[in-house]
Structure formats: structure tokens, C-alpha cells
Structure 1
């Protein structure tokens, strides 16, 4: 399932056809309720504040290079308060072989039945 706001960036024929081909259910948050998609809104704010607003992109290739460098830093070096100070890569390493549920009250893990 994909959850998104009602923005026009997801209304192109290519995106709609891809979604149908993949048989992915698409749901939308209520208009004017960005808190219903809080994790994505938070990520978008961090991307904008820490990367996009801090750089000048003279070309598409330069934008791709800088954004990829930021993404790598975001996932491997930048602690996340929602992950109890871990990076996403550190958490992924800890959860290998386990199922996980990240809830508002913190990170919960359980052993996988695989």
C-alpha cells in the first residue's frame, strides 16, 4: 500500500499505470491533514532544510550527486531520535532475522518465525 497526500505529483499516467500493473493499493490522507502522513512530512522537511535549501544545483547531475550524498549520510551517519539515536543502517543491522514494529512509544522487536 502507498499512502500519500493529494498532490499532483502522483497523477501522471505513468505513475497510475505502474501502480495498477504492480497491483498496489493507493490511499490518500485527508486534505489539510499532513499529520496523517507525519513520517513523510518530517522526512521532506529534513531533506528540504538539510539539503535542498543549503545547496545550489547548476545541473541535474549535480543535484543527483548532492542528494545521493545526503541520502547516504541520512541513512548511515545521522542519528534519528525516532530510532532511539540509531541510524537506519544500525537499526537494520540489529533487526536482521527479527520482525519489527516501530510505534509512537518506541521500537519493539520480536523474533521472526522463519
Structure 2
């Protein structure tokens, strides 16, 4: 059972049956550390700007070359984090629109980035 569901059950036990946090966590099999844990949301705007700078200059480069350039520039991001952003961008922007020009693509991307970094439910929250 996911941690998020256990946390919800523990909160319901506290509200409906006036039990302590420790007792409700023990009943649903949740550690108190997990109960209090607040995930830290990551801002991917730096990754976005670095990837945009690389792909603006090297239009035909794929992910491996772009990631190698990122490493050579001194960034220490895990490739999975960069790939996750790339996957999300492809499925939520590139696969959904047919752009008429580069300006339109940039405008739609900027709008999407605002939502991506501020408004959307982050994947990390689904694990909590």
C-alpha cells in the first residue's frame, strides 16, 4: 500500500477517533518519519536553460551528445533527472503541437515551463 494512502488513513484515524499521531501511524504501519516527511520540489529551470542553449546551437544532437556536453560544462546532474525532464517535455509539448515557426515553439515552451516549475503536481509528491 502506498505511503500516501497510509498517511491519509492515519490522519483520518486522528480526526475520527481522537488517537495520537504515534498510535495512528502504528495502526496503519507507517513510520512517524514518513508521516512528517515533506518532499522537496526540484526546480528544473537551470536544466531547461542549459539544454535550450545546447540544442539552439546543435539542432541535430540527440540526448547522449547533449548530456555529454552538460557534463563537460561541469554540471553534475544525474542523467535520469535530465532524461525525466526530456521525457516530460516531449510528451507534454513536442508530441502535442505542430509548430508553425520557432517563435511559436518558444512561446508554447515558455508557457509550459511556467506550469512545469510552479503549478503542476510534481512526480515526487506521488510517492509521499
If each structure's helix is expressed as a fraction of its own residues, which one has the higher value?
2
TM-score between both structures, scaled by the size of structure 2: 0.41
If each structure's strand is expressed as a fraction of its own residues, which one has the higher value?
1
| Bigger Cα Rg | 2
TM-score between both structures, scaled by the size of structure 1: 0.45
